[in-house]
Structure 1
Amino acid sequence: MSGYAGPDSGPAGAVHVSGTGNAYANGGLANTGYLLIRKFIQVRQAAAPRPPLDVAADALAKAVRREWEKEARLRRLLEPAPLPVRWQVTQRRVAGRIDGAIAEDGRARFAPLPGLTAVTRDVLRRGGALPELHAVYGGLASGRLLLVGEPAVGKTSAAVLLLREALKYRAEAAPDVRGDIPVPVMLTPFGWDPDQENATDWVASRLSREYTLFRNRGGVDRARELLEEGRIALFLDGLDEVGGKQRAAMLSALEEASFRVVVVSRARALTGRRQRLSGAAPLEIQPVCSEDASAYLMNPLRDPAPSGWQELNRRLLDEPGSAVAETLTSPLAISLLRDIYADSDGRPVDELLDADRFPSTRSLQDHLLDQLVRAAYMPRPRRPRPRYSPETAERTLRYLATQVTQTQADRELRWWHIPTWTDRRPRMIFVGAVTGLLYGVVGLFTLWGTAGPVWACLLGPLCALGGGLLAAHHHSELSDQQPLPSAGWRDIFPPGAVALGTFIWLFSGTTSWLVFQLPGNDPFPAWLAYLAALPLGFGTTMVSSRGYKLVAGTILGTGSGPQYDELRNRLSQRPVTETRAVSPRDVWRHHIGLRLVLGLLTGVAVAVFSGSLVAHEYGLRNGVLVGATAGLWACLFAGPAGNLGVAAALSAVQLSISEGTPVRLMSFFEDARRRNLLRAAGPAYQFRHDWLRESLTSSARSEG
């Protein structure tokens, strides 16, 4: 055919274009067909189901990114631009030899992440900033990284920035290698008992509570599989906030984990011989250099900057020994200065340059600390409004600092000591009145139905008065300083105590049934014998465990005295509060929730025991009435009347009236912890810095 141009000797698939429109059309059709086929293959590939772990990892990365974007804004790590992170290999003895981290012998536990290279000794020696920190995180052969430093040096901020950098790196990776890049998640160690759970099981359990992705059926198993496959990297912050024994056990458990681990801690918490993470690269976050501090403070200002700021900047850069330069090596001091002066309504920064007023670093630091609480609770644009006003927060923290300084040698803020700060008499009256009213009403109703109206009117008020007085006295005992009671189900129901209680139940039930089968006794059904004996087994379990105080004073509390402590120690082994890192709020919730439930169970046990016996002798109706009355008393006595969490909550109401502190004091503690004013130390709180506590105490004294 005229004008046809056949295949040329060019590259395969190329079409030689010559002369006519037909040839061009034929070549265009061929190219179009090729593109359509390629597009079809891509669509089929995209439509193919993705592996479930890839889907779960991507969903987790999205949730973590959303969570920490919000948290970074709250911490002011996004706007303005954060201070640069500087790090060096620490000279402190907080880890083993560096050889175990880099594995120069070729026995690497983790291959470098896609696009990164293996970390060498020279890389660690050079130190660096955030990009180099991410390269170390992703290329470390051991997969174990320690971020340590002095208080207020910015360790947690560095970890948050590293986490965001790791998320960004994963999001920008090619889809075919993204699955080989783990999703970083940041957790605190509270709630972990390494003696009962290995690191993988604990993290999987925490993820199922933190992220809705893992709350459905099989969610924990999916999280565990991601961890076992190395699809998740753990950032553990706050290890220095748990006790030494727990910390050592956690570090040992982390050594065996199958995923990458980044531990954030104060350096001094890891200097003990048993407090080291084997195979970890220990990097110390460095104080802020003058150039970085200058850029952070001056860049947001207009050009030219006000004269006061220019002079402050000159001293910062040119006079390294000045009070200003030495003070502004801390991220906390730098951010405070910016919050107080750059974001204020024209407050002159010149006052910081007054050598007579601020002759030393300590005087300048104290001045900034005086503004710390107000700056932490100051409303700011595009941020959630603080729950508490600066005045309320400052007043509350001053009161807490004074109490801790005066009453605690170790300067710990123990919430279970709050009842000792207030007058116990108002709480006794309240608890006694409520208990007496409830018990009196039920007692009156019971006596009316069993003994008649005359006896009900005579004995009902006596029941109310006696019940109220006993409950008030029991509650008053909580106003004395005491150790923290048991904080876990395993303390209340250890296997040894449960076994002993089960034996007593079966033995008592069988014995009573056999006795009633003897000639001359009324028939007693076997099910009723075992039902009546069940409270005896429950009481035995409680008495022989660390929950014995819950039944003390009730019919089930026989043998609950301290003379049986040796038996309890044998049956209960170590208390959970010594082996499990529990946050203060979780412990408080435990006393509000768990012990109220146990008080209810105690009441039910007393009701079943007394009611079943009365029902057998005097009928079901009388048995129900007597059981309900006896059970209500035991429930109130063992539950709210003897609950430390309830006592702390009632004391918070008293403090709100007398001192102007928040009614929900535990919520305030947690809010102050989020704002880096308090820190958790196991089940107690501490002020984030001793000099903050001292500054607040001094302010309270000067105002007093």
Structure 2
Amino acid sequence: MTEDLGALLRGLRDAADLTQEQVAERSGVSVRTIRRLESGRSANHRVGTVHLLADALGLREADRLRLATALSGPPGPPAAAAGGEAEARSAPAPAPVALPAPARSGRPAVPDALADAARELAREVRRRWRHEEAQRGVHDPFPLPVRWKPAPAALVDSAANVQRLGPGGTPRALDLDGDLRGTAEVYRRIPSGRLVVLGRAGSGKSVLTIRLVLDLLDLLDLLDLPPGTTAPQPRVPVVFSVGSWDPSTTALRDWMIGRLLRDHPHLARRGYAGATLAAALVDADLVLPVLDGFDEIAEGLRRDALDALNATAAPLVLTSRRDEYAEAVGAANAPLVWAAGIELTDLTPDDLADYLPRTTRTTRSTGAVASEAGPGTSTGPGPGPGTGTGATGSPWDGVLTALRTRRDPAHVRLAEVLTTPLMVILARTLYSEKPDRDPAELLDATRFPSVKSLDEHLLAGFVPTVYRRRAPERDAAGEQPRTAYADPERAAGWLGHLAHHLVRLDRERQDLAWWQLGDSLSRTTRTVAFVLATALSITLTDWLVGFLLTSLSVGELLLQGGLMGPAAGIGFGAVYAMADRSGGGAAFEPSRVRLTLRAARPHLGRSPLRTFASRFAHGLIGGTVMGVGCACALTVQRALVAGTPLTDPDVVGGTLINTLVLASVFGSSAGLAFGLTAAFEAPVDVTAAATPIGLLSSNRSTTCRQFLVLAPAFTLAIALGGHLIVDLLRNVMGPLNWGVRDSLFIGAVGGVGGAASYVLAFTAWGQWLVLARGWLPLTGRLPWNPAAFLDDAYRRGVLRQAGSVYQFRHLRLQHHLGRSYRERHRNFAPATFVPPSTDGM
């Protein structure tokens, strides 16, 4: 007979000598929920809630089984109609699992608006990483067996601290062994919710990270929590590439908020206590940081990073290479506090025997394999499941036999290389997916006399293999697509430039952001590019407007535009150079707002008055510089047409007056126009930046709307404001000429040309257009359509998507491509890195 759940739960609590309030504090379940369960007034039991209570009570397996039986009836085969839910509830009680609950376990329920934001974020995170996992081909034909063992004791905190026990508490043994099928269950066994994942380069840390995030989202049922629930809102696991974090200048909280705003622009809305949703989610402890790539932090900053992480108590997951993490632990004299640790283990020959033969899509003779592998290697499939491929065998059979026997040093070297998922995937791509390649060549001791030579061979062959020439398929409309990126050599050159672009003097970045591609050019080159681009926009605008609104001859019009454009271009270039030098280009990230005809909402950002003041100041500076340039250009034009010397006192006086008038008109008008555009800003949609291409498209639309708003606003402000300013100055400076035709001409040239120049020089999409789609392709460093190339590289498996940026699929591949590019371009000096600090040694 099944026990009553309420009575059983009440009896177990009494046996543990705990009050309802103490159980609530330990479990994170509200007292109200516990009372409803014990009184039998709750008919809609949540399995996760009962597991939390079981962990808080410290129940043994027998009592857990009693609790599971009371919850869902005696164990037995589930009814067919019950589906997966019935199966889950009828199974024996699982191993102890607990939502990670550190010192802040008793988190109160959050407002519905913030809970909705958490669920929305969870949906987006799940969608992205499911797509990424499918894009990687992780399940083709099945996931490689990524396994692990507990990390060395010197690299983890004590068991009592990991379990957050009080004085005198006796820690229980934590079972952290597992594989890729049980990532979330292993993590949920850690009471502190803090886990360090260690492994060699290419050992599968990224694959494990993705699987952990997806499993946590599935197990925690983040997407199905009813609004107004009294249970604590679970944390949303979010992957952060921690290599870009500088702990010496930015707090972890602020850096995480910035990453969330970049990858999820809809979180810029201000809907809770005046803070952005990103900040509110982080501050409410609703984000579980999965910090990927601790070893990618600059070497001199790792100790600071570990100290900053040790200053927090919140749950987190940290991945790193073992040696780099061990050095940071040694420098800090402490591991990550309250953190358990696991270390990924190597693949075995049996793992490869299961996997590699099933990756071959074509049937080939294995005779050549036997002759290359040596005596005894053509005996057919080795032991273990998956090695048999029928009568025809597999091209991998000889190699797999050599890996098991290791009769030759070449066999030992190859066995050492093929112990990580990265190298196995490279070998699979190079040989299983290319029918004219024989994997037996990997056993050639002459070609590959060392482990390093084998590594370099597999890395070097990856790009040519994935970019091998194929017969293009026609699309649904019957049109044959262009194959501009099918040339392996050109693709390798472009990818090499991108990998080199990520190298900085102090560190090697991993995020490949489309709005930062121009950073690969020197500051001088970028400034020259924007001078030319803005000069061209002003010149063309002057010619077009002059042809429509003035009676100047063709020669005078061409001369005027030819002078006005470069003068304004130099002005814009000077402003850009000052902004770039002061901000390093960081001010030109993609906008997180869109423009709409509706009034702005107060939760967008800073107060409307501060936003207007900031925009007015930017417009005032740019407009003033443009006015000075235009005044000088008009003086030169009139001097050339009339033949008057530039040193003539009348010319000098007229130039000073024009400078004052045009600088005042353009400066005030630009400030007013830019300030008022803030009234038309609204947050981007939730799907606006789901991918790098999505963010690019969204920012292009935003930039075009900015131009459509700024151009007429700037034109009217110049035309109408000019009359007002000239009338005011007449009282001081005497007669000034500002006719209607002149007003319209100057207003149109300044409005349209100035807005276009602003868009080109001071927006992320404008800089992408000028540099990534103009200058870099002209110099052969990128193709003419970089966005299509990046998306194509993603689909071929060279790149991966991480929110709104791309990353190379593997850091070792990025290193290889960058190094190869620098070797081909000797004018690039090798990157020099800051030596590690010797303080305290």
TM-score tier after normalising by the smaller chain length? 0.5 to 0.7
Instruction: Name the aligned partner's letter for residue 149 of structure 2.
Output: Q
Q: 2:493 aligned to 398, 416, 428, which one?
A: 398
Q: Which runs of 5+ in 2 are unaligned?
A: 1-39, 46-108, 358-385, 476-480, 592-604, 631-661, 668-690, 731-737, 827-841
Classify 1:409/1:136 alpha carbon distance in 2 versus 1 (closer, same or farther; 3 Å): closer
Alignment pair present for 1:317 and 2:378: no
Question: Aligned pair in 2 of structure 1 residues 627, 649: CA closer, same or farther (>3 Å)?
Answer: closer
Partner amino acid for 1:347? R
SS at match of 1:416: helix
Please say if residues 202 and 421 of structure 2, whose CA atoms lie closer than 8 Å, have aligned partners that are also in contact.
yes
- Select 1:468's aligned residue among 556, 560, 565: 565
8 Å contact from structure 2 (residues 718, 751) kept in 1:
yes
Q: 1:144 aligns with which of 166, 173, 194?
A: 194
Q: Which residue of 1 aligns with 2:343?
A: 284
Aligned to 1:688: 811
| Amino acid of the structure 2 residue aligned with 1:123 | D
Q: CA deviation at 1:692?
A: 1.8
* CA shift for structure 1 position 151: 2.6
Which residue of 383, 389, 393 maps to 1:306?
Answer: 393
Query: What secondary structure sits across from 2:290 in the alignment?
Result: strand
Q: For each residue in 1:257-312, what CA deviation from the matched residue of structure 2 results, as whole angstroms up to 9, or x when unmatched? A: 76x43233445665546897543223333333333233322427614673752221
Note if contact 2:237-2:289 (Cα within 8 Å) is conserved in structure 1: yes
Q: For residue 175 of structure 2, what is the aligned residue in structure 1?
A: 123
Q: What is the one-letter code of the residue matched to 2:769?
A: A
Q: Does structure 1 residue 664 correspond to structure 2 residue 785?
A: yes
> Which amino acid in 1 is paired with 2:585?
P
Query: Please, which of 441, 446, 451 is the counterpart of residue 544 of structure 2?
Result: 441
Q: The residue matched to 2:238 in structure 1 has which SS? A: strand
Q: What is the CA deviation profile of residues 635-680 of structure 1, one whole-angstrom value per residue up to 9, with x for unaligned ones?
A: 4555425778645534534654664943232564476478455899
Q: What SS class does the counterpart of residue 649 from structure 1 fall into?
A: helix
- Offset from partner CA, 1:196-233 (integer Å, 9 cap, x none): 9668967886896579xx99988999998987887764
State the Cα distance separating 1:365 from its structure 2 match: 1.9
The aligned counterpart of 1:187 is 239
**SS at structure 2 position matched to 1:391:** coil
In 1, Cα distance between the equivalents of 2:503 and 2:256?
37
Structure 2 equivalent of residue 565 of structure 1: none
| Contact 1:611-1:627 at 8 Å conserved across structures | no
User: 5 Å matches for 1:284-433?
Assistant: 284-298=343-357, 299=386, 302-303=389-390, 306=393, 308-319=395-406, 322-345=412-435, 347-376=437-466, 391-392=486-487, 394-401=489-496, 410=505, 415-419=517-521, 432-433=535-536
> SS in structure 1 opposite 2:486?
helix
Shift of 1:488: 6.2
Q: Is 1:103 matched with 2:164?
A: yes
Q: Distance in 2 between matches of 1:423 and 1:222?
A: 35
Matched-pair contact (CA < 8 Å) for 2:162–2:191:
yes
Change (3 A) 1:443 1:591: farther
Q: State the AA in 2 paired with 1:101.
A: V
Figure out how many residues of one structure are paired with residues of the other and give that number: 574
Deviation at 1:160, TM superposition (A): 1.6
Letter of the structure 2 residue corresponding to residue 614 of structure 1: V
Gap change, CA 1:438 and 1:354, over 3 Å in 2: same
Correspondence for 1:264 = 319
Aligned: 1:649 with 2:799: no
Instruction: Work out whether 1:153 is the aligned partner of 2:240.
Output: no
**Alpha-carbon distance change, 593 to 178 in structure 1, aligned in 2, over 3 angstroms:** same
Between the aligned partners of 1:501 and 1:156, the Cα distance in structure 2 is: 44
1:614 to 712, 726, 731: 726
**Which moved further from structure 2: 654-663 or 423-432?**
423-432
State the alpha-carbon separation in 2 of the partners of residues 329 and 223 from structure 1. 40
Q: Give yes or no for contact 1:65–1:164 (8 Å, CA) kept in 2.
A: yes
Does residue 86 (structure 1) correspond to residue 141 (structure 2)? The answer is no
Conservation of the 8 A alpha-carbon contact between 1:146 and 1:263 = yes
- Corresponding residue SS for 1:262: strand
- Structure 1 pair 346–216 and aligned structure 2 pair: CA distance change class (3 A): farther
Q: What is the distance in 1 between the residues matched to 2:742 and 2:785? A: 43
| Closer/same/farther in 2, CA of residues 57 and 628 from structure 1, 3 Å limit | closer
Judge conservation of contact 1:236–1:263 (CA < 8 Å) in 2.
yes
Distance of aligned partners of 1:584 and 1:620 in 2 relative to their CA distance in 1, 3 Å threshold: same
Q: Judge conservation of contact 1:548–1:557 (CA < 8 Å) in 2.
A: yes
- Once the two structures are superposed, residues 500-546 of structure 1 have per-residue CA deviations (whole angstroms, 9 ceiling, x without a partner) of 996xx9xxxxxxxxxxxxxxxxxxxxxxxxxxxx96x5566x59xxx
CA contact (8 A) 1:416 1:645 kept: no
**What amino acid is aligned across from residue 186 of structure 1 in structure 2?**
V
Structure 1 residues 280 and 68, CA, compared in 2 at 3 Å: closer, same or farther? same
Query: TM-score scaled to structure 1, two decimals?
Result: 0.60
Separation in 1, partners of 2:165, 2:125: 33
Aligned residue identity for 2:540: L
Offset, 1:98 = 5.7
CA separation in 2, counterparts of 1:229 and 1:200?
13
Contact 2:150 2:342 (8 Å CA) reproduced: yes
CA distance in 2, matches of 1:676, 1:432: 38
Give the 3 Å change call, closer, same or farther, for CA 245–439 of structure 1 in structure 2: farther
Q: Secondary structure at the match of 2:139?
A: coil
Distance 2:322 2:758 in 1: 44
Per-residue deviation at 1:633? Answer: 4.9
Q: What is the deviation of 1:75? A: 1.2
Give the secondary structure class of the aligned counterpart of 1:371: helix
Alignment of 1:18-37 (within 5 A): none
- Are 1:73 and 2:134 an aligned pair? yes
Are residues 356 and 407 of structure 1, via their aligned partners in 2, closer, same or farther at CA, if it must alter by over 3 Å?
same
Amino acid in structure 2 at the alignment position of 1:185: P
Instruction: Supply the distance in 1 between the matched residues of 2:482 and 2:154 (Cα, whole angstroms).
Output: 42
User: Are positions 1:235 and 2:290 aligned together?
Assistant: yes
Residue 179 of structure 1 contacts residue 231 of structure 1 at CA under 8 Å; is this kept in 2?
Answer: no
Partners of 2:240 and 2:501 in 1: CA distance: 30
- 3-state secondary structure, aligned to 2:237: strand
How far apart, CA to CA, are the structure 2 residues paired with 1:161 and 1:473? Answer: 52
| Residue aligned with 2:396, SS | helix
State the SS of the aligned residue for 2:449.
coil
The answer to whether the aligner puts 1:135 opposite 2:235 as a matched pair is no
Give the partner amino acid of 1:401. Answer: G
CA displacement at 1:143 relative to structure 2:
1.1
Note if contact 1:240-1:247 (Cα within 8 Å) is conserved in structure 2.
no
After superposition, the Cα gap between the structure-2 partners of 1:221 and 1:335, relative to the gap in structure 1 and judged at 3 Å, is same
**1:181, CA displacement in angstroms?**
9.3
Residue equivalent to 2:587: 487
Measure how far apart 1:138 and its partner are. 0.3
Q: Deviations over 1:442-483 (max 9, x none)?
A: 34555x3xxxx3x67675333201123335656888899978
**Deviation of residue 155 (structure 1)?**
0.8
Distance 1:91 1:170, change over 3 A: same
Return 5+ residue gaps in structure 1 as ranges. Answer: 1-40, 109-117, 506-533, 561-582
